[in-house]
Chains A and B, each alone.
Chain A
Amino acid sequence: MVECQECHERPATLHFTQVINGNKTEVHVCEVCAKEKGYMSYPEDGYSLHNLLSGLFNFDSLKQESNSEGIFNQVKELQCPKCEMSYSQFKRVGKFGCAVCYETFADRLDPIFKRVHAGNTQHHGKIPKRQGGDLHKKKQISNYKTQLRHLIESEAFEDAAKIRDKIKALENDTGNSEAGDNS
């Protein structure tokens, strides 16, 4: 029986590895202390997710290590210019250090996102209301263009002309008014 490292009274029933700032520590606690000392967390911070991620990151660290052939051939490690997080640090911690990390590691993110998000790599949700002003318009235009293509294919030229006018109007509109068309 392992005793709980917090209270040293009850047997430890929870065993896991905690990673804080990249440092791993083994934790053995009882249920009571786990709850009290904040080891228990919401599902989004759940250990299973973390494990999933770290497994995933370790997988591609193997490739990295195999190409270090001495100091001259060593590929300079990818590092975020803003927060200075390196790619290997990112793999170990499983967290981005800032928004620029997303650009810095862009080429390597798709496989990670695919694994974590059931094959998805692109956002299809909310766009910030204020700062996304242009994006709202862009999205609307691209929706219209898809519509236009379908209309032309089905030879519905009258409707197509209407849509084409809407696209033109949007493209000429340099103000930040939102396209409030629901048709």
Chain B
Amino acid sequence: MTLQNFMNEAISPWMREEGPDNDIVLSSRIRLARNFANTTYPILADPNQLEEIRDFFKDNYEKKSFQEYKDFSFLPIQNLSAVERQVLVEKHLISPHLVKHADTAAALISENEQVSVMINEEDHIRIQFYLPGFQLNKALEKSFEFDDWLEEKINYAFDETRGYLTSCPTNVGTGMRASVMMHLPALTLTKQINRMIPAINQLGLVVRGIYGEGSEAVGNIYQISNQITLGKSEGDIVEDLQSVVEQLIDHERKARKQIMEQSSKRLEDRIYRSYGVLEYSRIIESKEAAKCLSDVRLGIDMGIITNVSKNILNELMILTQPGFLQQYASKTLNPDERDILRASLIRERLQLEK
């Protein structure tokens, strides 16, 4: 397979679309947790009961369309190879938890990959809705409509006082987790982010790196999401998140400008060094690749690098993960082999720009 073809299949179509503020906000996501009212939750249910739910989704939604989200694929996880599963996880279409329960779990994914429903995850139903850039309100609106559409045929576990009854007490009420993925290289470089995170936590929001471990944000990519799901309406939760994200965008833009004014040569040097590493290295670990990709993306956003498309960060952050590399190679690779393939894939991808 050529790299171009592989990428076309690998990258979700919506990720290539332009979204508002997408120099900083890479994507917006709404996730809704729902359960069937009369069925025991996956943690304690009989496999038979869960298979019934899985079959219900297959019978009712496979190949169906909802608005512009067409032709849903129904994927029982047990029918997928290990690499295929990992690829879906790396695309954030399913969670590692879903993979762990492969025998009864399934995913329902729209052709454009903006809607994915995880079936028999921790809850019976987890709806995920993605939009490019900063579009939380639209994502909320769309996910509500989709939720209503499912509810036409499903009796949800819902209680007037407690709201949507989820398996975990941390999700009860709205069952909603709203999140945005942000690229914040300047706030990270100037260490301002370290001061901001505790303040953001105070507002009931969680900031974490989406790649990598703990609080470290590999590739300077952060996910900001709500922690509280009970007591506030979905609209209010989204509004709070929205206003914090707006402030972060503002601070990031200011920090970029400041760096440019105070040390433009240093910045330019850093960006071109990273560009050089990506263009010429023969072995590269994921962390170094992420750092360099972040630098190059910053260079693109600041007009320093002009011959590379913005998508390179999102695309290569996804494509250079272990699952994708192995899918590209069509075989299992050990870590050393992956580091070699990662370097060659990045070089090839940069060649496509020329």
Contacts and interface: CB of A to CB of B under 8 A. Distances in A.
Contacts of B323: 36
B231 A117 contact: yes
- Report, as a range, how many residues of chain A touch the other chain: 35 or more
Contacts, number: 166
B161 interface: yes
A39 B35 CA distance: 25
- Report, as a range, how many residues of chain B touch the other chain: 35 or more
A113 B232 CA distance: 13
Nearest to A113: B230
A150 interface: no
A102 B35 CA distance: 13
Q: Say whether chain B's binding surface is mostly helix, strand, loop, or mixed.
A: loop
B198 to A, nearest CB: 14
Contacts of A43: 177, 179, 206, 208, 223, 225
A36 B228 contact: no
B89 interface: yes
B233 A125 contact: yes
B151 interface: yes
B158 A38 contact: no
Interface in A50-100: 53, 82-85, 93-99
28 contacts: A7-B335, A14-B213, A31-B212, A32-B322, A32-B335, A38-B99, A43-B208, A43-B225, A44-B31, A45-B122, A82-B40, A93-B43, A94-B169, A95-B41, A95-B169, A97-B43, A98-B39, A99-B35, A102-B159, A102-B162, A113-B172, A116-B170, A117-B228, A120-B230, A125-B234, A128-B158, A131-B151, A132-B158
7 A-B pairs closest in CB distance: A120-B231, A123-B163, A38-B96, A99-B157, A117-B230, A97-B44, A125-B174
